[in-house]
Chain A
Amino acid sequence: MSWQIGTVIWINGPVVRVRGSRQVSMLELVEVGDEHLVGEVIGLEGDIITIQVYEETSGMRPGAPVYGTGMPLSVELGPGLLRSIFDGIQRPLPVMEMHTGSFIGRGVHLTPLYRKDRWSFTPQVKAGDTITGGAILGTVPETQALTHRVMAPPEIEGTLTWVAPAGEYTIDEPIARLRTKNGEQELTMLQRWPVRRPRPYRSRLAPAEPLVTGQRVLDTFFPLAKGGAAAIPGGFGAGKTVTQHQIAKWSDAQVVIYIGCGERGNEMTEVLQEFPELVDPRSGRPLMERTVLIANTSNMPVAAREASIYTGITIAEYYRDMGYHVALMADSTSRWAEALREISGRLEEMPAEEGYPAYLAARLAEFYERAGYVETLNGQLGSVSVIGAVSPPGGDFSEPVTQHTKRFIRCFWALDKALASARHFPSVNWLESYSEYVDDVAGWWREQVGRDWQTMRAQAMEILTEESRLQRIVKLVGPDALPDEQRLILETARLLREGFLQQSALDEVDTYSPLQKQIRMLELILHFHQRAQRIIKRGALIVVIHDLPVVTDMMRMKTLVANDQLEKLDDIRKAIDEQMDQLETEYR
Chain B
Amino acid sequence: MKELLGGQEVIGVARIEGPIVVVQGAGSVGYDEVVEVFDSRGRLRRGRVLEVGEDIAVVEVFAGTTGLSIDDTRVRFLGEPLRIPVTEEMLGRVFDGLGEPIDGGPEPLADHYADINGQPINPTARVYPRDYIQTGISAIDGMNTLVMGQKLPLFSGSGLPHDQLAAQIVRQATLGAPAGEAPSQTAQFAIVFAAMGVKHDVAAYFRDSFAESGALTRVAMFLNLADDPPVERLVTPRAALTLAEYLAFERQMHVLVILTDMTNYCEALRQISNIRGEVPSRKGYPGYLYSDLASMYERTGRIKTSEGSITQLPILTMPNDDITHPVPDLTGYITEGQIVLSRDLTHQDIYPPIAVLPSLSRLMKDGIGEGRTRADHSHLSAQLYAAYAHVQDVRSLASVIGEEELSTVDQQYLQFGRAFEREFIHQGPTENRSIEETLTIGWRLLSMLPQEELTRVSPAELQQYYGKRDATH
| Chain A interface residues toward B at CB < 8 A | 9-13, 56-63, 85, 93-94, 96-97, 100-105, 235-237, 260, 262, 264-266, 268-270, 272-273, 295, 297-300, 302, 335, 338, 341-342, 344-345, 348, 351, 354-356, 391, 393-396, 421-423, 474-480, 498, 506, 552, 555-556
Contact = CB atoms under 8 A, between A and B. Distances in A.
Among B115, B120, B303, B326: residue with most chain A CB under 10 A: B120
B401 A58 contact: no
Contacts of A302: 288, 291
Given A345-B288, A475-B397, A421 B30 contact: no
22 contacts: A12-B50, A12-B51, A61-B3, A62-B29, A62-B54, A101-B125, A236-B333, A266-B126, A270-B366, A295-B123, A299-B120, A299-B291, A338-B287, A342-B287, A344-B279, A355-B287, A421-B389, A423-B385, A474-B397, A477-B400, A498-B455, A506-B378
A269 B400 contact: no
A298 B294 CA distance: 6
Contact of B305 (A96, A102, A355, A475): A102
B324 A475 contact: no
A48 to B, nearest CB: 12
B390 to A, nearest CB: 8
Nearest to A546: B452
Nearest to A422: B389
A463 B117 CA distance: 55
B128 A236 contact: no
Contacts of A394: 323-325, 329
Given A355-B281, A475-B396, A61 B29 contact: yes
Interface string B320-342: 00011110011011101110000
Q: Assign chain B's interface to a size class.
A: 35 or more
Contacts of A268: 123, 126
A265 B121 contact: yes
Nearest to A498: B455
Contacts of A60: 30-31
Among A63, A235, A298: residue with most chain B CB under 10 A: A298
B287 A59 contact: no
A93 B32 CA distance: 26
Contacts of A335: 290
Among B119, B297, B338: residue with most chain A CB under 10 A: B119
B52 A10 contact: yes
A266 B301 contact: yes
Contacts of A395: 324
Given A11-B31, A421-B357, A97 B400 contact: no
A298 B400 CA distance: 46
B52 A300 contact: no
Contact of A341 (B32, B81, B287, B357): B287
B386 A9 contact: no
B180 interface: no
B53 interface: yes
A100 B124 CA distance: 12
Contacts of A105: 119
B382 A423 contact: yes
Contacts of B31: 11-13, 57-61
A85 B123 contact: yes
Q: Which 3 A-B pairs have the closest CB atoms?
A: A394-B324, A298-B294, A422-B389
B216 to A, nearest CB: 31
A265 B126 contact: yes
Interface of B: 1, 3, 28-33, 50-54, 80-81, 115, 117-129, 149-150, 249, 278-282, 286-288, 290-291, 294-295, 297-299, 301, 303-305, 323-326, 329-330, 332-334, 336-338, 357-358, 360, 362-363, 365-366, 378, 382, 385-386, 389-390, 396-397, 400-401, 405-407, 452, 455-456
B123 A93 contact: yes
A10 B53 contact: yes
A266 B54 contact: no
Contacts of A506: 365, 378
Contacts of A555: 455
B280 A355 contact: yes
Contact of B386 (A61, A236, A422, A480): A422
A105 B303 CA distance: 16
A338 B365 CA distance: 30
B193 to A, nearest CB: 22
A253 to B, nearest CB: 23
Contacts of B51: 10-12
A364 B127 CA distance: 34
A148 B200 CA distance: 65
B382 A63 contact: no
Contacts of B397: 474-475, 478
A345 B278 contact: yes
B291 A342 contact: yes
B78 to A, nearest CB: 11
Nearest to B245: A103
A396 B324 CA distance: 9
B295 to A, nearest CB: 5
A63 B305 contact: no
Contact of A58 (B81, B120, B301, B334): B81
A237 B53 contact: no
B279 A265 contact: no
A85 B125 CA distance: 12
Nearest to A106: B119
A220 to B, nearest CB: 20
B455 A103 contact: no
B334 A264 contact: yes
A344 B280 CA distance: 12
Contacts of B338: 236-237
Contacts of A498: 455
Contacts of A103: 118-122, 125
B400 A475 contact: yes
Contacts of A391: 333
B454 to A, nearest CB: 10
Nearest to B397: A478
Given A9-B54, A422-B389, A104 B280 contact: no
Contacts of B128: 266, 269-270, 273
A354 B290 CA distance: 14
A239 to B, nearest CB: 10
B29 A479 contact: no
A559 to B, nearest CB: 8
A266 B120 contact: no
Among A13, A57, A394, A555: residue with most chain B CB under 10 A: A394
A62 B305 contact: no
Contact of A393 (B53, B326, B363, B407): B326
A354 B336 contact: no
Contacts of B452: 552
Nearest to B384: A423
A9 B53 contact: yes
Contacts of B337: 237
Contacts of B80: 59
B391 to A, nearest CB: 11
A60 B117 CA distance: 15
Given A354-B281, A394-B324, A63 B3 contact: yes
Contacts of B357: 421-422
B124 A59 contact: no
B281 to A, nearest CB: 4
Contacts of A273: 128
A477 B397 CA distance: 8
Nearest to A295: B123
A478 B120 contact: no
Contacts of B455: 498, 552, 555-556
A60 B291 CA distance: 20
Contacts of A344: 279
B122 A97 contact: yes
Contact of A59 (B3, B81, B297, B330): B81
A237 B360 contact: yes
A121 B223 CA distance: 63
A498 B1 CA distance: 72
Nearest to A93: B124
